[in-house]
Amino acid sequence: MLSSIKTISTNSKKRFLFIRCLSITHPKTKVVITTDEAIEGIGSNITLLSGGFGLSGVPDTVINAMVNHPAINNVTAVSNNAGLDGRGLSQLLVTGQITKMISSYIGGNRTFEKLYLTGKIDLELTPQGNLAERVRAGAAGIPAFYSSAGVGTWLEEGKLPVRYDETGEKVLKASEPREVREFNGRKFLLEPAINGDVAVIKAYKADTLGNCWFRGAARNFNSVMGRNAKLTIVEAEHIVEPGEIPPEDVHLPSIYVDRVIKSTTPKDIEIFKYSEPASETSEEPKSENDLKRAKIVKRAAQEFTDGSFANLGIGMPTLAPNYLPENINVTLQSENGILGLGPYPQKGEEDADLINAGKETVTLAPGASLFGSEESFAMIRGGKIDLTILGGLQVSSKGDLANWGLPGRVKGMGGAMDLVSNPAATRVVVVMEHVDKKGRPKILNECQFPLTGKRCVSRIITDLAVFDVVDERLVLIEIDPEATVEEIKQKTEAPFEVSPNLKKIEI
Ligand SMILES: *[C@@H]1O[C@H](CO)[C@@H](O)[C@H](O)[C@H]1NC(C)=O
Ligand SMILES: *[C@@H]1O[C@H](CO)[C@@H](O)[C@H](O)[C@H]1NC(C)=O
Ligand SMILES: *[C@@H]1O[C@H](CO)[C@@H](O)[C@H](O)[C@H]1NC(C)=O
Ligand SMILES: *[C@@H]1O[C@H](CO)[C@@H](O)[C@H](O)[C@H]1NC(C)=O
């Protein structure tokens, strides 16, 4: 669009400004009708970015069109996870079209894990916040950045297994060790940007020029990936005319988008969770294990302070707000882009675009806000979250946490490394059973499993005890009314001090 600006002086000394548009060429529509047109020109040896978190906001229509496409092979796919078997990117894993994944989490189904553990694919496990920021940096022309996530872990040391042999026992290729640098007395790792050739994303609304609007928590990785690649393909539930999305509500400006196609695949929900009527919540835990977990969860609920912001891990931590003391308000953050989680929905009110980090249906509390994964983790890494409660596999006496991988059982770190990466600002509370299923201690001198974070844990809550980590030493501060210090000593490998103010756990 060309325009000329002329300034003309008049006798009255007023100056008039004329703006004359010589030509306004209305930009061409980016809408394509067939999936063949949508994926035209995509070839082999590419880096493919795919939006979505769990089953939310996944560009299924475009991905389905790539399955078994003869031209699309040897793909490096960048996606937080790979969907479920038979859905999303896992289909391209099964066909062998994807040869490398860059992800934070393997997800609920086994195909991905099996291919990885039998040496069929490369996997670059990346903390979820680093993943979002590596994509954001690539989009913004920044080649690398320093991040605190993963300091002191296999990420720093270059020990994350990238490729196994056929037996899954030998690591043939490991990750690149990271350059470490200190800023203001804290360590950071140099993380390289990711630059995509093609991005496939899903929007709720796109206009014919490519401006996009995302609904609920389905923005997740979609907006940041949509900004990154050389070729960005949007599938939208609704295609509208320019101007129908108010300019101030455009989440992804048209400049980033090349093609728009109507989404034709239905939305799915991975885990339906509902608020139960009060009568049904009268907890009568069945097993001894349920009783233990209920105790842990109730004690964990006492960690919330009024007016604070908290992020809760999957499992026991997610249940803690059910036992929130009455006079306390907390705002819950969900890593996939929600600040202000409400309760689980009533039956019939579930929404595929509103899920939490555990892929469960949720609602929004009044005053909630929604954003993309890159902003979610900026909030987390930037220390705006006051408290994170996470599950643990092992904790060391110095406050190291291991909670993302077992030998031979890989899940991925998801957002956990990011969540514990700023412990001076975000208090890290670990909830776990005191001993594992075989009765072995989980509080150890040193963690045996790969670390999530080093020297990051402030408090450990188990079914038997509460410990604080003070100057890299464990202090027993509370004890189950039916346990003895002697029993705790037997079930804890790490040495600990007993607080002079030792209390009974009250729940
Ligand atoms: C992909 O890379 C391989 C190895 O570098 C090369 O032989 C092949 O021609 C490439 N394919 C395409 C479509 O670029
Ligand atoms: C796969 O693609 C990568 C680049 O993305 C290239 O380096 C590699 O040689 C390719 N492998 C094959 C077997 O084409
Ligand atoms: C994988 O998902 C399919 C459905 O998509 C399900 O039938 C199967 O049980 C799942 N497998 C595992 C190991 O979770
Ligand atoms: C919690 O928030 C609600 C709604 O904003 C408010 O009515 C209530 O007074 C708050 N409670 C406390 C203890 O701040």
The band of 334, judged by pLDDT with boundaries at 50, 70 and 90, is very high
DSSP label of 266: P
Q: Lowest mean pLDDT: which of 280-289, 343-352, 494-503? A: 280-289
Residue nearest atom 6 of ligand 1, based on CA coordinates: 45
| Element holding 290 (H helix, E strand) | helix 288-301
pLDDT 10s digits, 150-196: 999 999 999 999 999 999 889 999 999 999 999 999 999 999 999 99
Q: What is the pLDDT of residue 283?
A: 57
Q: Which numeric CATH code is attached to 35-262?
A: 3.40.1080.10
The ligand whose atoms approach the alpha carbon of 46 most closely is 2
Backbone dihedral angles phi then psi of residue 310, each to the nearest 5 degrees: -135, 150
45 C-beta closer than 6 A to ligand 1: yes
Q: What is the pLDDT of residue 161?
A: 94
pLDDT 10s digits, 408-467: 777 899 999 999 999 999 999 999 999 999 999 999 999 999 999 999 999 999 999 999
The band of 281, judged by pLDDT with boundaries at 50, 70 and 90, is low
Cα 121 to ligand 3 centroid, rounded to whole Å: 20
The ligand whose atoms approach the alpha carbon of 197 most closely is 2
d(CA 137, CA 78): 14
Q: What is the pLDDT of residue 109?
A: 67
Q: Which residues line ligand 2 (CB under 6 A)?
A: 45, 74, 76
Best mutation site among 42, 45, 48, 74 for ligand 1 pocket (most ligand atoms within 8 Å of CB): 45
Mark 27-59 as b/e (b = at least 16 C-beta within 10 Å): eeebbbeebeebbeebeeebbbbbbbbbbbbbb
306 C-beta closer than 6 A to ligand 4: yes
Q: What is the pLDDT of residue 83?
A: 77
Query: 133 with 145: CB under 8 angstroms?
Result: yes
Q: What is the pLDDT of residue 111?
A: 85
Q: What is the pLDDT of residue 4?
A: 42
Cα 201 to ligand 3 centroid, rounded to whole Å: 25
pLDDT 10s digits, 220-242: 999 999 999 999 999 999 999 99
Domain layout of the chain by residue ranges: 35-262, 288-504
The ligand whose atoms approach the alpha carbon of 41 most closely is 1
71 C-beta closer than 6 A to ligand 1: no
305 C-beta closer than 6 A to ligand 4: no
pLDDT 10s digits, 52-102: 999 999 999 999 999 999 999 999 999 998 878 788 999 999 999 999 999
Q: Beta-carbon neighbour count of residue 292 at 10 Å?
A: 18
- Show the DSSP H helices in 39-168 as ranges: 60-66, 90-94, 110-117, 128-139, 154-157
The band of 8, judged by pLDDT with boundaries at 50, 70 and 90, is very low
pLDDT 10s digits, 261-273: 999 999 999 999 9
The band of 320, judged by pLDDT with boundaries at 50, 70 and 90, is very high
Q: What is the pLDDT of residue 17?
A: 47
Q: What is the pLDDT of residue 503?
A: 97
Q: Which of 270, 303, 335, 360 is catalytic?
A: 335
Please state, rounded to an integer, the average pLDDT across all residues of the chain. Answer: 93
327 C-beta closer than 6 A to ligand 4: yes
Residue nearest atom 6 of ligand 3, based on CA coordinates: 85
pLDDT 10s digits, 19-50: 554 556 667 899 999 999 999 999 999 999 99
Q: Catalytic annotation on 335?
A: yes
Q: Which CATH number fits the domain 288-504, given the four candidates 3.40.50.620, 3.50.50.60, 3.40.1080.10, 3.40.50.300? A: 3.40.1080.10
d(CA 331, CA 339): 7
Query: 467 with 459: CB under 8 angstroms?
Result: yes
Cα 110 to ligand 3 centroid, rounded to whole Å: 7
**143 pLDDT above the threshold of 70:** yes
Residue nearest atom 1 of ligand 2, based on CA coordinates: 45
- Using the structure block, give the residue that is written with the tokens 């009455």: 326
Residue nearest atom 2 of ligand 4, based on CA coordinates: 329
Q: What is the pLDDT of residue 26?
A: 66
Q: What is the pLDDT of residue 25?
A: 63
The band of 2, judged by pLDDT with boundaries at 50, 70 and 90, is very low
The ligand whose atoms approach the alpha carbon of 270 most closely is 3
Is the fold of 35-262 the same as that of 288-504? yes
**285 pLDDT above the threshold of 90:** no
Which residue from 255, 335, 300 is spatially nearest to 81, judged by alpha carbons? Answer: 335
